Amino acid sequence: MKRISVLKNTVQEYAWGSHTAMSELLGKKPPSDNPQAELWMGAHPKAPSRVKSGGKWISLSALIEKNPEDILGKAVAEKFNNKLPYLFKVLAAAKPLSIQAHPNQKQARQGFERENRLNIPLDAANRNYKDDNHKPECICALTPFWALNGFRKISDMLPLMERICPKRLENEVDDLLKQPDRRGLTRFFHGLMTMDLHRQKEVIANAVVNAHKYAEDDPVFKWIIKLHSVYLSDIGVLSPIFLNLICLDPGQAMFLPAGELHAYLDGVGIELMANSDNVLRGGLTPKHVDLTELLRVLNFQERDLNILTPQKISKYESVYSGKADEFVLSVVSVKKNMTNATFATKSVEMLLCTKGTARIIPADKKYTVKVNKGTSVIIPAAVEKYRIEGNAVFYKASVPLISPY
């Protein structure tokens, strides 16, 4: 495969998805009958994209298997075992997603092998590890995007807890005051998540009553009320107290490494990650929760949020800095008066048009690919150079530049 090609992708329907956001992005008539949560662009075995080849729609994973160097590029094919290293998504959250974290590479490999030995089917509801890969990820807001990301500073956490649960969490707050460090935070979180159900219900009820008193002053308390309206007796309702609450503006992004506890709450975003579907959940979900495994992989380090904004690398392209070997996210903007929007490919790229219309033309000018809002394309490494003409905005997934030698 040596041509720029349009992708046909799978939309995942999960209960927390939107009936309108995905349809609007893909240019289809909203609303959809079922909630549409994620659009997958990539070669993950669960839902590989398809490409038209020889008059037929062929799985991208099958095409890569036949032509790894043409599609991925020599260096990427060698480094990532002839596999596409990233998974590109659109995420549309109309309801909060689960509190979750992802394993690092070693944990993913060990967990996948362990569950295989136990003969747990890959599609089983109680399966934690769907593959043997880690899952660092970047989320970039297309609309205002609310999320929880990483443990708050303990010094910020304590006053919130004292306001929301002055009596019911007295012992846990005292313990954290005495040991305001990583070990104290570990003990606090473990105690909160494993307390008996009767006490959890009492704590939640007390917290929600108090949250109504402060909801107009602080979105932390407003989100406790919102989470409670969906998950009545889940202790994860309190997560805005101990996790950083953020609203990303459109165009802002954040990077999530392995072990970082997080939850996406509301909004539409572009998501780019290592090619994995490994999720360890801790709450706010009807799906399988494995608290023991989650606690094993979590990073109990309090931290400030690092919001990413794109940094210009050319007249047409801006890049979000990240720390992943598998992927880099950038945004490409072209206008009709731009006559030389030319790009060089060092590895496989995927582009998703989120606004406008354009034409993508390879350097040899032998054909043109027309795109509009919602169209996604793959640009194999064999293309080497291409030009974009039109008036459009794209989000681009690629692999950080690496030498083939």
Q: Is 107 labeled as ligand-binding? A: no
Compute the half-sphere exposure of residue 193: CA atoms within 13 Å on the CB side of its CA.
21
What six digits make up the tokens of 151? 């443990």
301 is in an annotated binding site: no
Residue 29, pLDDT score? 77
Kindly tell me the sign of the dihedral angle through the C-alpha atoms of 173, 179, 180, 185.
negative
Instruction: Compute the mean pLDDT over every residue in the chain, rounded to the nearest whole number.
Output: 93
pLDDT band at 402 (very low <50, low <70, confident <90, very high): low
137 touches 254 (CB < 8 A): no
Highest mean pLDDT among 16-30, 131-145, 331-345: 131-145
Q: What φ, ψ does residue 209 adopt, rounded to 5°?
A: -60, -45
119-125 long-range contacts, Cβ below 8 Å, gap at least 24? 125/287, 125/288
Overall residue count recorded for the chain in this entry: 405
Q: Is 384 annotated as a binding residue?
A: no
* Fold equal for 7-148+248-285 and 311-398: yes
Tens of pLDDT along 98-122? 999 999 999 999 999 999 999 999 9
Task: Please state which CATH number belongs to domain 311-398.
Answer: 2.60.120.10
By C-alpha distance, which of 260, 166, 153 is closest to 209? 166
Cα separation, 275 vs 305, in Å, equals 25
Which amino acids are annotated catalytic? 281
Per-residue pLDDT of 54-113, as tens digits, reads: 789 999 999 999 999 999 999 999 999 999 999 999 999 999 999 999 999 999 999 999
For the chain, domain boundaries: 7-148+248-285, 153-238, 311-398
Given a contact cutoff of 8 angstroms between Cβ atoms, the answer to whether 50 and 237 are in contact is no
Distance CA(344)–CA(363), nearest Å, equals 9
Q: Letter for the amino acid at 53?
A: S
Scanning 180-303, the segments in alpha helix (DSSP H) are: 182-194, 197-214, 219-230, 239-242, 291-297
Task: Tell whether residue 100 is among the known ligand binding residues.
Answer: yes
How many CA atoms lie less than 13 Å away from 35 in the CB half-sphere?
A: 11
pLDDT of 232-280, one tens digit each? 889 999 999 999 999 999 999 999 999 999 999 999 999 999 999 899 9
The secondary structure of residue 132, as a DSSP letter, is S
- Amino acid 366 reads K
Considering only residues 217 and 116, tell me which one the structure prediction assigns the higher pLDDT. Answer: 116
Average pLDDT over residues 165-186: 87
Question: Is the pLDDT score of 299 beyond 50?
Answer: yes
What are the structure tokens assigned to 292, written together? 């023991």
Residue 362: both structure tokens together: 């390879």
Torsion sign (Cα): 346, 351, 355, 359: positive
Q: How many CA atoms lie within 13 A of 381 on its CB side?
A: 22
pLDDT at 405: 32
Q: Tokens 């394309």 appear where?
A: 377
d(CA 386, CA 401): 17
Cα 140 versus chain centre, distance: 9
The topology under which CATH files domain 7-148+248-285 is Jelly Rolls (2.60.120)
